[in-house]
Amino acid sequence: MDENDEAIRTPIVSVLGHVDHGKTTLLDEIRGSAVAEAEAGAITQHIGSTVVPIDVIERICNPDEEFDLPGLLFIDTPGHHAFTTLRSRGGALSDIAVLVVDVNDGFQPQTVEAVKILDRTETPFVVAANKIDAVPGWKTQEDAPFAETFAEQSERVQNDVENALYEIIGDLHDNGFQADRYDRVNDYRSTIGVVPVSAETGEGIPDLLMVLVGLAQRFLTESLTTRPNGSGEGTVVEVKEKKGLGTTVDVLVYDGVVEVGDTVVVGGQLDPIVTEVRALLEPSEKVEINEEDEFNRVDRVVAAEGVKVAAPELDDAMAGAPFVVVGEDDELGDVTQRVRSE
């Protein structure tokens, strides 16, 4: 393969929604079912993100046909501000989003804000109508697909769920989006799918993953092409002091490869920083997303992946700034100019 070869990379999925509606619990549940389904070690924790490989998703979803993506990379967006500052070249950093709405609480101010941001950044999204287990009278079947568990509910509970979903669908409509329960959507290009789930019991999670993969496969394949041997590009997610390493940056690499020894240009407070990658660090197995504990050193990372980068001169680096590897055929001046103008 040479550096112009293309492949489909892992789509970056961010999770947004009103406070306490269940974003973190949803991610924990997805990670948990993935860990339960995977052979030991198959799930990798990346900095600020979780990658779920496609064979694990297939085992959770049991699709009719094999999926055609390497997996899904989920990021728990710490607030809308972070979401809006985290951009890749020319657009939103995430390829798709999950908008989490508490089905018993409906649209709230931050839900509306999130919808506006998704609209503005033209990010395709699905709605996870969360906490169906908390609808009065709900009988839980752990980890069941929605249709299966819904069929087991009383008529009254079914009606209550439908009414709550219609409220959400109406609120989406008021914000300019056509929406429907996901299993009634014919065209995901024009209609937002609403997937009833419980992040607590795992009900509906297979459906949510299925819709996400379907959305990515059908509508994003163009924007998901990456050059698996091309020079890496990413976005700084966080700038952090790390004992023994000085200032490090957590980077979400969305294209190409980053290797130890690479010359990189990183957006800084005043001027772009030119430096050399000293170390690439991945959290070791099962470490919680933002826990600082243990890191494994790796020689290279391939998009899409989150990684902690140690390099000199990073004190002025900024969250949201571009991180670009200077490739063999690149002029340093061109790359610096590009980073400056982004």
- Give the residue numbers of the binding site for GTP: 17-24, 76-80, 130-133
In order, the DSSP letters of 77-139 are -SSHHHHHH-EETTEES-SEEEEEEETTT---HHHHHHHHHHHHTT--EEEEEE-GGGSTT--
Q: In what order do the strands lie in the sheet with 295-298?
A: 273-276, 263-266, 322-325, 233-242, 246-255, 305-310, 279-283, 295-298
**Nearer Cβ to Mg ion (41/109):** 109
Q: Which stretch binds ligand GTP (CB under 6 A): 195-203, 213-221, 269-277, 283-291?
A: 195-203
What residue 204 binds from Mg ion, ligand GTP, none (CB within 5 to 8 A, per partner kind)? Answer: none
What residue 272 binds from ligand GTP, Mg ion, none (CB within 5 to 8 A, per partner kind)? Answer: none
**Nearer Cβ to Mg ion (47/311):** 47
Locus of tokens 């030991």: 40
Looking only at the bridges linking them, the beta strands covering 279-283 and 305-310 are antiparallel
Of 282, 272, 227, nearest to 251 by C-alpha is 282
Residues binding ligand GTP: what is the number (CB under 6 A)? 15
Q: Which stretch binds ligand GTP (CB under 6 A): 89-97, 193-201, 217-225, 324-332?
A: 193-201
**Nearer Cβ to Mg ion (23/46):** 23
What residue 25 binds from ligand GTP, Mg ion, none (CB within 5 to 8 A, per partner kind)? Answer: ligand GTP
Residue with the CB atom nearest Mg ion in the bound state:
24
CB 87: neighbour CB atoms within 10 A? 17
What residue 21 binds from Mg ion, ligand GTP, none (CB within 5 to 8 A, per partner kind)? Answer: ligand GTP
Instruction: Give the whole-angstrom CA distance, residue 95 versus residue 130.
Output: 21
What residue 206 binds from Mg ion, ligand GTP, none (CB within 5 to 8 A, per partner kind)? Answer: none
Instruction: Return the SS3 of 239.
Output: strand
Can you say which residues are annotated as belonging to the binding site? Answer: 17-24, 76-80, 130-133
**Nearer Cβ to ligand GTP (33/198):** 198
> What residues numbered 11-30 form the site for ligand GTP, per CB under 6 A?
17, 19-25
HSE on the CB side for 8, CA within 13 Å? 17
> What residues numbered 119-158 form the site for ligand GTP, per CB under 6 A?
130-131, 133-134
Q: Binding residues for Mg ion, per CB under 5 A?
A: 23-24
Q: Tell me the chain's radius of gyration from C-alpha atoms.
A: 20
Q: How far is the CB of 24 from Mg ion (least distance, A)?
A: 3
Q: Which stretch binds ligand GTP (CB under 6 A): 31-39, 163-171, 175-183, 196-204?
A: 196-204
**Nearer Cβ to ligand GTP (133/160):** 133
Q: How far is the CB of 323 from ligand GTP (least distance, A)?
A: 26
Neighbour-count burial of 246, counting CB atoms closer than 10 A to its CB (0-12 exposed, 13-18 middle, 19+ buried): middle
CB 327: neighbour CB atoms within 10 A? 18
State the amino acid at position 123 in one-letter form: T
**Nearer Cβ to Mg ion (27/280):** 27
Give the largest CA-CA distance in the chain: 67
**Nearer Cβ to Mg ion (17/256):** 17
Instruction: Note the residues at the interface with ligand GTP (CB under 6 A).
Output: 17, 19-25, 130-131, 133-134, 198-200
